[in-house]
Amino acid sequence: MTALDMTGVVTAVSAKPGHDFSKDNHPAIRLLTGVGVEGDGHAGATVQHRSRVRRDPTQPNLRQVHLLHAELHDELAERGFDVRPGQLGENITTRGLRLLDLPRGTILCVGDEAIVEVTGLRNPCRQIDDFRKGVLAAVLDRDEEHRLVRKSGVMGVVVAGGEVRRDDRVEARLPTGPHLPLEPV
């Protein structure tokens, strides 16, 4: 990644108290250290996604914050899908930062105070097609070696809390040591 790929901007912030698929847009959200987005249904120190809770409710929540690149919305629009920020369940929508290319452990400085550590990829599920038929196939791809590419954003944990608003700057700081590729979490 070049230095230009290491910064971006927040284009929307979203949260919703329940476990609905889509989230509502807000002027600002507050990230809580070790918990996630204040008032969001997926906030918690331990897993909050229902399927994961059924397996083991004591697992750490590596999915406290969902970040999605607005460029995916552009790509979906080109394919005939009208998808707005928050509708794919993301909390923070960014533009200009190549989220999917970041290694595990990347630190994202968001706004003036918030810090999120990238833990992995969002694994898109069939709920995406329940939201809008055909979108699941549109957020999956294959690379040159025919490996599955998941394009539905990254997940992270809140290292330092703070308010996040539209137009806030996002800066990525790569981890030291080997750069481990993102895997679904």
Domain assignment present for residue 19? The answer is yes
Quick one: pLDDT band at residue 6, thresholds 50, 70, 90?
Answer: very high
d(CA 88, CA 91): 9
* pLDDT beyond 90 at 54: no
CATH number at residue 115: 2.40.33.20
Quick one: pLDDT band at residue 5, thresholds 50, 70, 90?
Answer: confident
pLDDT at 1: 57
pLDDT at 51: 81
* pLDDT beyond 60 at 124: yes
Domain carrying residue 12: 3-173
Supply 16's token pair. 């919703």
Domain assignment present for residue 145? The answer is yes
Could you read off the pLDDT of 63-111 as tens digits, one per residue? 999 999 999 999 999 999 999 999 999 999 999 999 999 999 999 999 9
Domain assignment present for residue 111? The answer is yes
Domain assignment present for residue 45? The answer is yes
Domain assignment present for residue 127? The answer is yes
Domain assignment present for residue 183? The answer is no
Q: How many domains does the chain have?
A: 1
Q: Which residues contact 100 (CB under 8 A, 6 or more apart)?
A: 69, 121, 149, 150, 151, 153, 154, 182
Domain assignment present for residue 178? The answer is no
Report pTM: 0.96
CB-based contact 10:167 (threshold 8 Å): yes
Stronger pLDDT, 5 or 13, i.e. the higher one: 13
pLDDT at 50: 78
d(CA 178, CA 185): 19
Domain assignment present for residue 76? The answer is yes
